[in-house]
Structure 1
Amino acid sequence: MIELQDITKSFGDKEILKGVSAVMESGKVNLIIGASGSGKTVMMKCIVGLMTINTGKILYDQEDFTAMEEKEKKLVRQKIGMLFQGSALFDSMTVEQNVMFPLDMFSRDTLRDKKKRVMECLERVQLKDAAKKFPAEISGGMKKRVGIARAIVLNPKYLFCDEPNSGLDPQTSLLIDKLIKELTVEYNITTVINTHDMNTVMESGDHIVYMYQGKKQWEGSNKDIVFSKDQKLNDFIFASEFLREAKEMRQLDLFKDGSWRDQLKKD
């Protein structure tokens, strides 16, 4: 679990994050959404320690990450997997070598054990046959899956994904969403995704934080979002007539679900 306690971040006179508090839960896909300039990218960079917050606290499993010495922070970072927007693979390395890179950096295992672990991860993302290929020889969707294999090779407790569906066709995007969701549940990972993809929001959003002008405007699940009365959120998520109609259809589907209807009455 990752907890943000009233964090702020400024660049000179410009305040980017304005007292944001949220909890990213383990075993769930936690999404950070919002328009460009809302602060979501800065928020993710602060969580992983690429940027230093001005005030507040960031807790990893109730340990104050912001107060740690650099040596302690390094130990936490070894538990973090990162999937970059452009996959960030090394062009001069094969798929196998790219996935092995974190093991070479942080593991003292034998080469044989490293290769075994790499093949386990490639098999999990259905890319075992591509191990000897170079990034230029595989598709964009395959590169994303290589990036996911590299991100999980060290058995991370925390997985951060920056726009994982960027540049992918809708069908491949669905496959990536499904894979990330499966891995999150399977390994009980705290997954945090920064995304603009509304399909990811509606299909994978176990927990969603909507950022608006540096503040947490709304928080809830993908089911909550369908019934939300927050106008700013609705204007952002259901911007087109098609999406507004899709929202109405989803509301009807969910309302037919007796257990969800009972929960709605409690809320």
Structure 2
Amino acid sequence: MIELKNIKKSFGDKTILHDISAVMEAGKCNLIIGASGSGKTVLTKCMVGLFKPDEGEILYNDVNMLEMTEDERKQLRQQIGMLFQGSALFDSMTVEQNVMFPLNMFSTLSYKERKKRASEVLDRVNLKEAHNKFPAEISGGMKKRVGIARAIVLNPKYLFCDEPNSGLDPQTSMLIDKLIKEITVEYDITTIVVTHDMNSVMEIGDHIVYMHQGQKQWEGSNKDIIFSKNELLNEFIFASEFLQDAKQMRMMQENGDVPKQ
């Protein structure tokens, strides 16, 4: 679990985060959503230690990251997995070598043990046949799965995903969402997903934080969104008439006014 308490962050005279408090729950997909410039990326960078908040606390299992020693922060970083927006694979390395990279950096396992662990996580993301391929030889969806395998190879307690469906077709996006959800539950990981993808919000949004102009405007689950009366949230998620009609129909179904198909 990660708890944010009254996080404030400014750059010069411009305030980016205004008193943000939220709880990211273990074993759940915690989504941070909002338009460009809403502050969600800055908030995430504060959570992983790339930016230091001006005020507030960031608690990892009740321990304030901002008060940790350098050794304690190093240990914490080894418990964090990262799935980058563009996957960020090393082009000159094979899939297997990419996944082994964190093990080479941080583990004391033998080469044979590192290779076995890499094989385990590649099998988990359904890439049994891709070990010796290079990133240029695999599809965008496969690259994302390699990125997920690399992110979980050290058995992290926390998983951060930056726009995991960026550049993917809808069907592949759904497969990536399903995989992230399965891994989150299976390994009881605290997963934080920064996304613009409304399919992700509705499919895997166990806990959602909606941000607007540096402020937390709404917090709840994907089921709560259907009944939300927050105008800013509704304008962001149900921007088109089609989605507005879909929300209305879903509300009617939930209230029993329309039979469910």
TM-score (norm 1): 0.95
* Counterpart in the other structure of 1:141: 141
Aligned partner of 1:75: which letter? Q
Tell me, in whole angstroms, the C-alpha distance in 2 between the residues paired with 1:145 and 1:235.
Answer: 32
For residue 70 of structure 1, report the CA deviation from its aligned partner: 1.6
Equivalent residue for 2:98?
98
> What aligned pairs does 1:1-267 form with structure 2 within 5 A after superposition?
1-256=1-256
Q: CA deviation at 1:242?
A: 1.1
Letter in 2 for 1:175: L
1:98 is displaced (CA, Å) by 0.1
CA–CA distance in 2 between the matches of 1:179 and 1:253?
29
Deviation at 1:254, TM superposition (A): 3.3
The alpha carbon displacement at 1:69 in A equals: 1.6
Unpaired segments ≥5 residues, structure 2: 257-261
Distance 2:165 2:41 in 1: 15
Q: CA deviation at 1:74?
A: 0.8
Amino acid aligned to 1:183 = I
Q: Structure 1 unaligned runs (5+)? A: 257-267
- Aligned partners of 1:95 and 1:253: how far apart in 2? 46
Q: CA deviation at 1:250?
A: 2.4
Q: Deviations over 1:181-229 (max 9, x none)?
A: 0000000000000000000001110000000111100000000011000
Q: Distance in 2 between matches of 1:67 and 1:237?
A: 37
Amino acid at match of 1:106: F
- Quote how far apart the aligned CAs of 1:55 are: 0.4
* Higher alpha-carbon deviation: 70-79 or 88-97: 70-79
CA distance in 2, matches of 1:240, 1:70: 48
**What is the DSSP-based 3-state SS (H/G/I as helix, E as strand, rest coil) of the residue aligned with 1:130?**
coil
In 2: Cα distance, 1:77 partner to 1:245 partner: 44
> Matched residues, percent identical?
72
The one-letter code sitting in structure 1 at the alignment partner of 2:132 is K
Runs of 4+ in 1 over 3 A off after TM superposition: 252-256
Q: Which AA in structure 1 matches 2:128?
A: K
1:265 — aligned with what? Answer: none
How far apart, CA to CA, are the structure 2 residues paired with 1:39 and 1:121? 33
Mapped partners of 2:177, 2:246: distance in 1? 20
Tell me how far 1:251 sits from its aligned partner. Answer: 2.1
CA–CA distance in structure 2, aligned partners of residues 252 and 122 of structure 1: 43
Distance in 2 of aligned mates of 1:184 and 1:153: 14
Higher helix share: 1
Mapped to 2, the partners of 1:27 and 1:148 lie a distance apart of 16
